[in-house]
Amino acid sequence: MKLYNKSELMPLLESFGFNFSKTLGQNFLIDKNILDKIIDNSNINKNTNVLEIGPGAGTLTYELCKRAKKIVSIEIDNALIPILQHNLSEFNNFTLINDDIMKIDLKKVISDNFGSEKFILAANLPYYITTPIIMNIFEGGFNVESMILMIQKEVADRIYASPGTKNYGALTVGVGFYARPEIICQAPPHCFTPQPKVSSVVIKLNVYEKPPYYVNNKEMFFKTVKSVFSQRRKTLVNSLSGSPFINCDKVKIEKNLKNMDLDLKIRGEKLSIEQLAELSNQLFK
């Protein structure tokens, strides 16, 4: 089945009376080259478990089912369920769940299907839920090995940013704390049907077994990060001392900046993940 082939996909969708939903971010992949890159870079083999979010018509799912051990796909749109059942009927390593990824009990889905085994996350994500999904999976403490994701270019730029640049922010630090991001390829609008207004990027997040940054209090680290980037025009001292998320006085912050050999007028956005971790460790012992 060549679902990446628009001339095969469209008549099939029509035969089921399917209409694309804009609100569900439905832009289906129709580019074989991009599909191959996703598969090649996901390092899937017969021992791999895959959790897929938003399978659509099953274009990526089909390729995953051919190669992986077990695939569990979660799709919100009822109208796609018979289409997916039809397109993936030849596989017995495929489980389809008709639910909303933002509401489903993901812990249960993962333990029911993968037990304590590792899995990878694969998704051509609806743009409106990209960031919460990525962060929920990280923060859920799941045994996820890597994530291979199609995301909006602008979000990829924020994930893959360097300190001091305009794209560097809470998302860069939040993702970078848990994983090493790797840009796989660009996917311009013509790689999808219907064409989205924005360009996309395939990104791989290689999840660290153990974050390389030591933090003694994860909650306070993330509150520090939130404080820094919600007031990013201010100096680090002012954004932290005036933050509603943490309680820290100026003198203490200045003392710790001096200990770290940092300028007292520095803005928080200049600090690397390692420096933010060190600062939060000093402030919240």
Among 59, 131, 241, 281, binds ligand SAM (CB under 6 A): 59
* Residue 24 CB, nearest approach to ligand SAM (Å): 4
b/e map 229-267, b = 16+ CB within 10 Å = bebeebbbbbbbbebeeeebeeeebeebbeeeebeeeeb
Does 75 bind ligand SAM (CB under 6 A)? Our answer is yes
Does 77 bind ligand SAM (CB under 6 A)? Our answer is yes
The set of residues, in sequence order, having a beta carbon less than 8 Å from that of 132 and lying 6+ positions away, is 102
Q: Among 11-19, 97-105, 162-170, 178-186, which window interacts with ligand SAM (CB under 6 A)?
A: 97-105
Does 268 bind ligand SAM (CB under 6 A)? Our answer is no
Identify which of residues 78 and 92 has a Cβ nearer to ligand SAM in the complex: 78
Does 88 bind ligand SAM (CB under 6 A)? Our answer is no
Among 53, 147, 240, 248, binds ligand SAM (CB under 6 A): 53
* Residue 258 CB, nearest approach to ligand SAM (Å): 47
Does 134 bind ligand SAM (CB under 6 A)? Our answer is no
DSSP 216: S
Helix axes of 170-178 and 218-230: crossing angle, nearest 10 degrees: 150
Does 101 bind ligand SAM (CB under 6 A)? Our answer is yes
Identify which of residues 27 and 227 has a Cβ nearer to ligand SAM in the complex: 27
Q: How far apart are CA 66 and CA 88, in angstroms?
A: 10
Does 129 bind ligand SAM (CB under 6 A)? Our answer is yes
CA-to-CA dists, residue 2 to 5, 10, 46, 148, angstroms: 6, 11, 22, 21
Bridge partners of 145, per DSSP, are none
Tokens of 77: 């749109």
DSSP SS3 for 250: helix
Q: What are phi and psi of 95, to 5 degrees?
A: -120, 130
* Residue 189 CB, nearest approach to ligand SAM (Å): 12
Find out whether 225 and 174 touch, Cβ atoms under 8 Å.
Answer: yes
DSSP secondary structure letters along 102-116:
TTS-HHHHHHHHHTT
* Residue 213 CB, nearest approach to ligand SAM (Å): 31
Tokens of 119: 């899995």
Does 56 bind ligand SAM (CB under 6 A)? Our answer is yes
Binders of ligand SAM: how many residues, by CB under 6 A? 23
Identify which of residues 29 and 155 has a Cβ nearer to ligand SAM in the complex: 29
Does 275 bind ligand SAM (CB under 6 A)? Our answer is no
Tokens of 276: 């933010």
Binding site for ligand SAM (CB under 6 A): 24-29, 53-56, 59-60, 74-77, 80, 100-102, 124, 126, 129
